């Protein structure tokens, strides 16, 4: 049986704030981590200048959020002239690594920073200079002695490998669009994968070719020792645009997530809806385990 996400009744959780010039138009595509006590969220925001910046919010339950009044991460380099977009957060050691898209005239590249508090950051700049490249996320541990990063050279999901998190090589595509499926145009990684006894559970988005492309979410299961091998993949989407606020917005027909979080007996998936607001969907881990086991 194919798994299916449930929407939280409090949705949408975050919306634009008209009197905050930097997030007055759109808030979307959040990255979320849970440290055992608090949920931390970095989310993409756009205001009147349409430049993307990251806002920060904190929560005790993943539903009710306190937001900072000013952005915590904004463009600071020429390669970020048009904005910083779509963060993914991975904890390595006692630090959080934020991989994001650096957008500038004629270039879409993968950049990285790290933080301990989500307020101050050490920037590394562009780490994958290929153009265009985006939808990047770090695995939470080394595999066979290497750091591993998911990324997207359209239309496929790729992996890259590194000894030091800065210099990346051995690029290899691992999955692509499927003809006559809901993800037949292009695909990209969601949040960093979660290690399970069955393999690496990866959330991803798939785009269907249409007069207005439709973004949906699905799962992949990657081999625990060799994530280049796909063990299983959603036959049907686990979430698709259905609510008015998922269908109509800055970019219509979009559910798009940068995070997959374990919380008690659930997986929490915070997502951007129509590039306009932020919502929460969830699923019991037991349901996903049955899918991974093939039951």
- For residue 132, give both structure tokens: 């265009």
Does residue 10 register a pLDDT over 70? yes
pLDDT computed for residue 88 by the predictor: 98
CA angle 173, 186, 239 (to 5 degrees): 115
Domains of the chain: 14-293 (2.115.10.20)
Task: Tell me the three state secondary structure of residue 119.
Answer: coil
Helix boundaries (H) for 72-163:
none
For the stretch 141-174, pLDDT in tens is: 999 999 999 999 999 999 999 999 999 999 999 9
**pLDDT band for position 295 (50/70/90)?**
low
CB 73 within 8 A of CB 118: no
- For residue 114, give both structure tokens: 């790290």
For the stretch 29-54, pLDDT in tens is: 999 999 999 999 999 999 999 999 99
CA angle 80, 83, 85 (to 5 degrees): 110
**pLDDT band for position 1 (50/70/90)?**
confident
3-state helix, strand, coil in the chain (%, to 5): 5, 50, 45
pLDDT computed for residue 73 by the predictor: 98
Q: Give the phi and the psi of residue 149 in degrees, each rounded to 5.
A: -125, 130
CA angle 51, 54, 58 (to 5 degrees): 150
Q: Give the phi and the psi of residue 231 in degrees, each rounded to 5.
A: -90, -30
Helix boundaries (H) for the chain:
244-247, 285-293
**pLDDT band for position 212 (50/70/90)?**
very high
Residues near 22 by Cβ (< 8 Å), separated by ≥ 6?
45, 46, 47, 53, 55, 70, 71, 74
Determine the Cα–Cα distance for residues 154 and 186; give it in Å rounded to an integer: 7
pLDDT computed for residue 30 by the predictor: 98
In the chain, the percentage of residues whose pLDDT exceeds 90 is 99
Determine the Cα–Cα distance for residues 139 and 161; give it in Å rounded to an integer: 10
CB 70 within 8 A of CB 22: yes
For the stretch 62-121, pLDDT in tens is: 999 999 999 999 999 999 999 999 999 999 999 999 999 999 999 999 999 999 999 999
Determine the Cα–Cα distance for residues 17 and 218; give it in Å rounded to an integer: 30
CB 180 within 8 A of CB 156: no
Does residue 290 register a pLDDT over 80? yes
**pLDDT band for position 294 (50/70/90)?**
confident
- For residue 11, give both structure tokens: 């949705």
Determine the Cα–Cα distance for residues 75 and 255; give it in Å rounded to an integer: 25
DSSP one-letter string for 205-236: EEEE-SSS-EEEEEEEEE-SS-TTSEEEE-SS
Does residue 13 register a pLDDT over 80? yes
């Amino acid at each position: 049986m194919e798994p299916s996400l449930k929407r939280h009744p409090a949705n949408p959780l975050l919306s634009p704030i008209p009197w905050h010039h930097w997030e007055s138009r759109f808030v979307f595509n959040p990255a979320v981590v849970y440290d055992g006590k608090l949920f931390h969220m970095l989310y993409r925001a756009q205001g009147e200048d349409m430049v993307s910046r990251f806002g920060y919010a904190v929560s005790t339950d993943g539903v009710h959020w306190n937001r900072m009044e000013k952005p915590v991460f904004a463009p600071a380099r020429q390669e970020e002239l048009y904005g910083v977009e779509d963060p993914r957060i991975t904890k390595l050691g006692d630090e959080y690594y934020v991989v994001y898209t650096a957008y500038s005239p004629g270039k879409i590249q993968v950049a990285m920073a790290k933080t301990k508090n989500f307020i101050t950051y050490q920037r590394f700049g562009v780490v994958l200079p290929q153009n265009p490249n985006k939808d990047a996320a770090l695995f939470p541990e080394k595999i066979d002695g290497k750091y591993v990063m998911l990324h997207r050279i359209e239309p496929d999901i790729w992996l890259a490998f590194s000894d030091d998190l800065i210099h990346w090589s051995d690029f290899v595509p691992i999955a692509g669009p499927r003809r006559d499926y809901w993800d037949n145009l292009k695909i990209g990684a969601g949040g960093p994968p979660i290690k399970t006894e069955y393999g690496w559970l990866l959330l991803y988005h798939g785009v269907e070719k249409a007069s207005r492309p439709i973004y949906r979410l699905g799962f992949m299961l990657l081999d625990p020792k060799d994530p280049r091998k796909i063990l299983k993949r959603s036959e049907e989407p686990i979430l698709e645009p259905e609510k008015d606020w998922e269908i109509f917005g800055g970019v219509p027909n979009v559910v798009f997530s940068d995070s997959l979080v374990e919380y008690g007996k659930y997986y929490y998936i915070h997502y951007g809806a129509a590039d306009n607001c932020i919502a929460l969907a969830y699923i019991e881990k037991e349901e996903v385990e049955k899918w991974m086991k093939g039951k």
